[in-house]
């Protein structure tokens, strides 16, 4: 075992980190580990399943129970690979029967259920200790990290179960819908007959596949826990560095070392400061400044980009005292600062201000309508829109020109022959009067009832009574085809005359 | 044999040129932290559900809201507001950071915790466990998507005891590793057996120009010298 050949970084770690290193080791040799594990375990699994076809639970239990025997192979591979001597797949699998010798019975019986199984396995397999010596060794090793090893096994059990169920769920998800519908799950699961057996063997096979992935990782985690424990106990990391240091010193400068070594032991200067030159505060701060200006602390870089040049003139003005400007510019600037141009400047200022105000006024005038509409707080005076009076209501023409001059007598004449025309004429006349003489705001969408309501608002009881009666008779005739009695006909005509011929505008 | 030895460290170089070694945490401590958190959430729900159950339908509605809050926000709130530690991670000494070592933010924490449900597919963290075991920095799918990393927290170290010896100075230069090893030799003598201490010191006896028997004492003196006056 040469520590300098180790393929992992050797240093003391916490127990959890040591396990993580095991995961990385298993990852590094994943192909070899899983392939060898599969080559060894899957034939055994198939044999067990075939032999115990009727008892799938027993088959998987035996397979699970034999795990420590299989575990020896990944441990052998990992221990070889740790020092760079990775075996080939063929070599590894050939080694397995030889690895089974030695304490197989113990590991398969009373040590089988130990929770720190993977942690202590290297002691018997790699160190070859047995009996009292092994117990003493374990006592030293398990002073620490044994709890973590137990947690590793506990988590491992749950992980195996989780992955197993996950595999079955995955299998279930991949069953095509039409196949699934034909299956009677309850019958399959509960059946003790041979139909259900293959399903159980299938789930057993999933477990065997899960182990192909997980068990080498479990062994590697236990192995790295063991390695870490030994690294702490035996200070492997220090040995490694010390050996390198000795090699460096022995090859690099043996003679020099000898010469200096002779002088170094007798007189040891107690202080460690360099005495050659006295330090002063000034020189120290200077050297500190010089150091601080150098790259790791200050990284000057030149950036070229475009930007607005408005900073420049002010900078120039500020620099005036430094007389960096040419003389003519200086004179001009001085002139500008004196009172020579004062009046001119004032005039210019007035002009500019008046231009600004004038421009604003112009803009306000130009957009006065817009401003009045959107800015003014008063509501704009809405222009009086004179709605044209409707020319007809309910299909009755209302224009004054369509009516005869003496409506009442025309209606009396029509009563005998065309009562419908007569009543219609009266009603049309009423509406026309309302519209034109009383200026009722009738709309073409109004119904007879709404017209009556508007008449009501005029507060003329006579007119209202007449309108009410006329409307009622008109509706009876128009929609119900019921003629008003003759007395009513007479009354309506006389009322009309009373209302419109005497007091009306006619 | 790989050119660089396998290690669990994850090196980050900051813009100031400082190397930050982070130690990503693997499956086992994370599973235990998650189990603790699950238990804590179960206890919270159990305790709060009892009075809510007495309220009838209103209590049922409040309970549903509570379930939502606890299952979706427990991790996020703790991770963002408690420096990347949920209670379970606190117990296991873990914390969540971004890939570049900066504290985890709202978006990253939300993403990694929402994608828990992808990690859980198809059953019981199947994908998450496989991803965690296969990734060099032990990331599950949520971590990959959010660009986060679960690392071990740095714990304060107790001040190590160094055996008394007269301070010595070596005539040859030691690099940082070698200085650390000599200091470590002095600090860890309590854990090592006397034979092993002697054996280790004997390796350097020829270089130190002393007899192997005196080498351990000599190395302790060098360690004192490296440590400086204390």
A10 CB neighbours in chain B (<8 A) are 5
Beta carbons of A27 and B123 less than 8 Å apart: no
**Per-window interface: A 437-456 vs B, CB < 8 A:** none
Strand partners of residue B97: B103, B149
The larger pLDDT score, comparing residue A376 to residue A165, is at A165
pLDDT of A464 > 70? The answer is yes
pLDDT of B156 > 60? The answer is yes
Mean pLDDT of A458-473: 86
Asked if B25 is an interface residue toward chain A (Cβ–Cβ < 8 A), one would say yes
pLDDT of residue A60: 94
CA angle A67, A73, A77 (to 5 degrees): 145
From CA A37, how far away is CA A217, in angstroms rounded? 11
Mean pLDDT of A394-407: 75
Asked if B230 is an interface residue toward chain A (Cβ–Cβ < 8 A), one would say no
pLDDT of residue A277: 65
ipTM of the complex: 0.92
Mean pLDDT of A87-94: 93
Highest-scoring range by mean pLDDT, A252-256, A356-360, A491-495 = A356-360
Mean pLDDT of A363-389: 73
The larger pLDDT score, comparing residue A42 to residue A314, is at A42
Q: What is the pLDDT of residues A478-490, one digit of tens each?
A: 888 888 888 888 8
Q: What is the pLDDT of residues B177-215, one digit of tens each?
A: 899 999 999 998 888 888 999 999 999 888 888 888 888
pLDDT of residue A385: 56
Sign of CA dihedral B32, B33, B36, B38: negative
pLDDT of residue A266: 46
pLDDT of A318 > 50? The answer is no
pLDDT of residue A378: 65
Classify residue A498 by its DSSP letter.
Answer: I
Bond preceding residue B151 cis, omega within 30 of 0: no
A358 three-state secondary structure:
helix
- Pairing between strand B148-152 and B10-13? unpaired
Confirm if B85 and B141 have CB atoms less than 8 A apart. no
pLDDT of A116 > 60? The answer is yes
pLDDT of A164 > 90? The answer is yes
Q: Which two tokens stand for residue A33?
A: 């580990």
Confirm if A241 and A58 have CB atoms less than 8 A apart. no
From CA A499, how far away is CA A505, in angstroms rounded? 10
B188 CB neighbours in chain A (<8 A) are 235, 238
Domain ranges of chain B: 10-152, 176-227
**Per-window interface: A 244-263 vs B, CB < 8 A:** 244-246, 249-250, 253, 257-258, 260-263
Q: What is the pLDDT of residues B43-101, one digit of tens each?
A: 999 998 888 888 888 888 888 888 898 988 999 999 999 989 999 999 999 999 999 88
Beta carbons of A173 and B122 less than 8 Å apart: yes
Domain ranges of chain A: 3-241, 392-502
Top residue of B19, B29, B177 to mutate, by most chain A CBs within 10 Å, is B29
Q: What is the pLDDT of residues A325-345, one digit of tens each?
A: 677 888 877 777 777 778 888
From CA A212, how far away is CA A70, in angstroms rounded? 11
Q: At what angle do helices A30-51 and A56-65 cross, to 10 degrees?
A: 140
Minimal Cα–Cα distance from A132 to chain B, Å? 20
Q: What is the mean pLDDT of chain B?
A: 89
- Chain B, nearest residue to A216 by Cα: B133
Beta carbons of A238 and B138 less than 8 Å apart: no
pLDDT of A441 > 70? The answer is yes
pLDDT of residue A416: 79
pLDDT of residue B5: 85
Measured CA distances, B45 to A155, B49, B65, B108 (Å): 25, 6, 11, 26
Asked if A143 is an interface residue toward chain B (Cβ–Cβ < 8 A), one would say no
A37-43, long-range: CB within 8 Å, 24+ apart, which pairs? Answer: A37/A70, A37/A73, A37/A74, A37/A211, A37/A212, A37/A215, A37/A216, A38/A212, A39/A89, A39/A93, A40/A70, A40/A73, A40/A93, A40/A96, A41/A70, A41/A208, A41/A211, A41/A212, A42/A208, A42/A212
From CA B36, how far away is CA B44, in angstroms rounded? 12
Beta carbons of A8 and B6 less than 8 Å apart: yes
Asked if B207 is an interface residue toward chain A (Cβ–Cβ < 8 A), one would say yes
pLDDT of A475 > 70? The answer is yes
The larger pLDDT score, comparing residue A55 to residue A440, is at A55
Asked if A27 is an interface residue toward chain B (Cβ–Cβ < 8 A), one would say yes
Asked if A238 is an interface residue toward chain B (Cβ–Cβ < 8 A), one would say yes
Beta carbons of B5 and A6 less than 8 Å apart: yes
pLDDT of A504 > 60? The answer is no
A5 CB neighbours in chain B (<8 A) are 1
Highest-scoring range by mean pLDDT, A25-29, A329-333, A495-499, B3-7 = A25-29
pLDDT of residue A275: 54
Q: Which of B1, B5, B138 sits opposite A20 (nearest CB)?
A: B138
Q: Which two tokens stand for residue B123?
A: 């059953």
pLDDT of residue A301: 85
Q: What is the pLDDT of residues A171-208, one digit of tens each?
A: 988 888 877 666 666 666 665 556 678 888 999 999 99
Q: What is the mean pLDDT of chain A?
A: 83
pLDDT of residue A498: 84
Residue B13 CB burial class (10 angstroms; 0-12, 13-18, ≥19): exposed
Mean pLDDT of A283-306: 86
Residues contacting residue A364 through CB under 8 Å, at least 6 positions apart: A371
Beta carbons of A162 and B125 less than 8 Å apart: yes
Mean pLDDT of B165-169: 85
Query: SS3 sequence, A244-272?
Result: HHHHHHHHHCHHHHHHHHHHHCCCCCCCC
pLDDT of A414 > 80? The answer is yes
Band of residue A444 on the pLDDT scale cut at 50, 70, 90: confident
pLDDT of residue A211: 95
| Sole residue written with tokens 């089974």 | A100
Top residue of A10, A30, A172, A242 to mutate, by most chain B CBs within 10 Å, is A242
Minimal Cα–Cα distance from A247 to chain B, Å? 9
The share of chain A scoring above pLDDT 70, in percent, equals: 84
A249 CB neighbours in chain B (<8 A) are 172, 207
Mean pLDDT of A493-499: 84
C-alpha B39, offset from chain centre:
22
């Amino acid at each position: 075992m040469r520590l300098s050949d180790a393929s992992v970084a050797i240093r003391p770690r916490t127990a959890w980190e040591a396990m993580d290193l095991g995961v990385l080791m298993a990852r590094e040799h994943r192909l070899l580990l899983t392939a060898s594990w599969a080559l060894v375990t899957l034939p055994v699994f198939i044999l067990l399943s075939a032999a115990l076809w009727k008892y799938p639970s027993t088959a998987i239990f035996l397979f699970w129970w034999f795990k420590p025997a299989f575990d020896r192979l990944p441990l052998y591979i990992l221990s070889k690979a740790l020092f760079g001597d990775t075996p080939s797949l063929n070599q590894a699998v050939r080694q397995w029967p030889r690895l089974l010798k030695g304490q197989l019975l113990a590991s398969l019986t009373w040590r089988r259920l130990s929770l720190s199984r993977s942690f202590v396995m290297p002691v018997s397999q790699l160190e070859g200790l047995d009996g009292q010596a092994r117990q003493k060794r374990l006592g030293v090793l398990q002073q620490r990290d044994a709890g973590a090893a137990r947690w590793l096994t506990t988590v491992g059990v749950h992980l195996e179960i989780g992955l197993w169920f996950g595999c079955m769920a995955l299998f279930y998800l991949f069953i095509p819908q039409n196949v699934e519908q034909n299956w009677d799950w309850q019958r399959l699961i509960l059946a003790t007959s041979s139909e259900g057996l293959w399903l159980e063997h299938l789930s057993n096979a999933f477990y065997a596949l899960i182990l192909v992935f997980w068990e080498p990782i479990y062994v590697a985690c236990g192995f790295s826990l063991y390695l870490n424990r030994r690294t702490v106990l035996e200070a492997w990391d220090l040995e490694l560095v010390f050996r390198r240091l000795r090699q460096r010193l022995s090859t690099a400068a043996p003679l020099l070392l000898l010469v200096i070594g002779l002088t170094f032991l007798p007189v040891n200067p107690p202080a460690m400061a360099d005495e050659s030159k006295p330090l002063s505060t000034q020189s120290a701060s200077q050297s500190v400044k010089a150091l601080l200006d150098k790259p790791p602390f200050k990284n000057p870089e030149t950036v070229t980009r475009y930007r607005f040049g408005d900073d420049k003139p002010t900078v120039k003005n500020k620099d005036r005292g430094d007389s960096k400007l040419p003389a003519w510019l200086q004179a001009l600037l001085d002139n500008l600062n004196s009172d020579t141009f004062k009046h001119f400047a004032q005039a210019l200022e007035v002009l500019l201000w008046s231009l600004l105000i004038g421009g604003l006024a112009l803009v306000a005038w130009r957009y006065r309508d817009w401003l009045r509409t959107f800015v003014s707080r008063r509501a704009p005076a809405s222009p009086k829109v004179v709605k044209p009076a409707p020319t007809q209501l309910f299909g009755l023409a209302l224009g004054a020109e369509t009516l005869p001059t003496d409506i009442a007598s025309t209606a009396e004449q029509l009563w005998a022959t065309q009562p419908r025309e007569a009543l219609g004429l009266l009603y049309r006349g009423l509406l026309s009067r309302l519209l034109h003489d009383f200026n009722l705001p009738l709309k073409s969408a109004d119904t007879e009832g709404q017209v009556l309501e508007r008449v009501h608002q005029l507060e003329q009881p006579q007119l209202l009574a007449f309108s009410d009666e006329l409307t009622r008779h008109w509706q009876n005739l128009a929609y119900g085809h019921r003629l008003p009695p003759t007395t009513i006909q007479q009354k309506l005509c006389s009322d009309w005359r009373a209302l419109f011929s005497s007091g009306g505008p006619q | 044999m790989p050119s660089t030895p396998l290690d669990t460290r994850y090196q980050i170089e900051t813009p100031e040129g400082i190397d930050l070694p982070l130690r990503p945490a693997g499956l086992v401590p994370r599973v235990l932290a998650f189990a603790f958190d699950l238990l804590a959430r179960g206890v919270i729900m159990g305790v709060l559900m009892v009075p809510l159950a007495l309220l009838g339908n209103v209590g049922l509605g409040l309970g549903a809201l509570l379930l939502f809050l606890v299952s979706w926000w427990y991790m996020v709130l703790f991770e963002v507001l408690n420096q990347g530690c949920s209670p379970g991670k606190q117990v296991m000494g873990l914390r969540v950071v971004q890939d570049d070592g900066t504290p985890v933010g709202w978006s990253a924490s939300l993403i990694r915790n929402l994608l828990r449900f992808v990690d859980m597919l198809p059953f019981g963290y199947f994908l998450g466990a496989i991803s965690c075991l296969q990734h060099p920095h032990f990331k599950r799918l949520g971590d990959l998507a959010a660009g986060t990393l679960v690392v071990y927290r740095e714990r304060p170290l107790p001040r190590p005891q160094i055996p008394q010896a007269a301070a010595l100075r070596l005539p040859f230069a030691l690099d940082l590793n070698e200085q650390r090893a000599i200091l470590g030799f002095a600090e860890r003598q309590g854990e090592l057996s006397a034979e092993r201490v002697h054996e280790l010191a004997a390796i350097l006896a020829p270089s130190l120009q002393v007899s192997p028997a005196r080498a351990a004492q000599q190395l302790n003196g060098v360690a004192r010298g490296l440590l400086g006056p204390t």
